[in-house]
Homo-oligomer: A and B are copies of this chain.
Amino acid sequence: MDLSVRIGSLEMPNPLIAASGCFGYGLEYEEVVNLASLGGVAVKGLFLNAREGHPPPRIVETPSGMLNAIGLQGIGVHRFIDERLPRLREAGARVIVNICGTTIDEYVELAKILSQEEGVGALELNISCPNIKEGGIQFGCSLTGTHAVVSAVRKATTLPVIPKLTPNVTAPATFARAAEDAGADAISLVNTFLALAIDVESRRPRLSNVLGGLSGPAIRPIAVRMVWECRQEVKIPIIGMGGIMDARDALEFMIAGANAVQIGTANFVDPFVWGKILDGLTSYMQRHSIARLQDLVGTMDTSAPAAAHA
């Protein structure tokens, strides 16, 4: 059985990638999961410099989901290269570095710096973080901005370039097209949905940042729809995510059009989820006689609905 997937020059043995911001720098999970067994590890979003992030409270639970406004606390790209990347390389992880900037130049500089390092598998451009004003969301919410930042990074690196799209727009597929036109190797979607939770007793927001990003199973049906829409619009690989909790959810994204998937919030609920999903994928392939998992991508059959009475 072949579960492999390729994104530009990045070859992954399976389509399961740890979602950025939900897996630290990967090393935090070394005792729980063999990092080499994952398709890839998207590390916590990195700026050029270290950042403290927002004061707590930084997360709050909502029905079947959670809001976060971490504010991209991070060690900056240089400490990442010095302290984490060598250990990730040793562990055999396929590293996807999620990069954030406030200007196109910063994205380009990050791309150049990371391109010189051994062990970086791909760059995921975070142009969709809803929690900080300067987190690139100004690019992610404008078609010309998306095109500009992707083109600029494209010219600066030979690494696979994967812009991560926001769901907080009318038509994500138009952004997918802009990204493809600008030379992206793949797109990731979705980042979190901009949201608000208020404590009614104190009438105050539950997060220090007021607004946060909604992730988890609550958003899954919307994210699946967006992946499907993007699949109609672009040919490049799609990395789908949003509330994947088990193999069935991962398969749902793939059938909708995702070539690979990221798993974020589920990892908090069950850090051992990786092995369970991988097992689920292989048993599905057996059950349905699917030799290459990529053959499943985008195969939703709209000729008739599923029987309600299974």
Q: Which residues from B are CB-within-8-Å of A169?
A: 170
B207 and A305 contact, CB distance less than 8 A:
yes
Interface residue A90 (Cβ < 8 Å from any Cβ of B): no
B65 and A306 contact, CB distance less than 8 A:
no
Docked complex Cα distance between A251 and B216 (Å):
24
Count contacts on A: residues with CB < 8 A to the other chain. Answer: 60
Given contacts A64-B63, A218-B63, A300-B205, contact A198 B252 (CB under 8 A): yes
Q: Which residues, 261 to 310 on A, are CB-close (under 8 Å) to B?
A: 284, 299-308, 310
Interface residue A217 (Cβ < 8 Å from any Cβ of B): yes
B217 and A64 contact, CB distance less than 8 A:
yes
Docked complex Cα distance between A212 and B300 (Å):
15
Given contacts A141-B170, A170-B169, contact A199 B64 (CB under 8 A): no
B170 and A218 contact, CB distance less than 8 A:
no
Q: Which residues, 171 to 206 on A, are CB-close (under 8 Å) to B?
A: 193-206
Q: Which residues from B are CB-within-8-Å of A252?
A: 197-198, 200
Docked complex Cα distance between A121 and B202 (Å):
35
Q: Which of A200, A216, A220, A303 has the most CB of B within 10 A?
A: A200
A300 and B195 contact, CB distance less than 8 A:
no
Interface residue A224 (Cβ < 8 Å from any Cβ of B): yes
Interface residue A210 (Cβ < 8 Å from any Cβ of B): yes
Docked complex Cα distance between A216 and B222 (Å):
13
Docked complex Cα distance between A306 and B194 (Å):
19
A204 and B304 contact, CB distance less than 8 A:
yes
A299 to chain B, nearest CB (A): 6
Given contacts A195-B221, A195-B224, A305-B207, contact A248 B65 (CB under 8 A): no
Q: Which residues from B are CB-within-8-Å of A206?
A: 305-306
Q: Which residues from B are CB-within-8-Å of A218?
A: 63-65, 217-219
A43 to chain B, nearest CB (A): 26
Q: Which residues from B are CB-within-8-Å of A255?
A: 198, 200, 203
Interface residue A168 (Cβ < 8 Å from any Cβ of B): yes
A224 and B196 contact, CB distance less than 8 A:
yes
A305 and B204 contact, CB distance less than 8 A:
yes
Docked complex Cα distance between A63 and B219 (Å):
9
A169 to chain B, nearest CB (A): 5
A303 to chain B, nearest CB (A): 8
Interface residue A243 (Cβ < 8 Å from any Cβ of B): yes
List 14 other contacts, CB 8 Å, given A67-B221, A198-B255, A201-B310. A57-B306, A63-B220, A64-B64, A64-B217, A141-B170, A194-B222, A198-B306, A200-B248, A200-B252, A200-B284, A202-B307, A206-B305, A212-B221, A218-B219
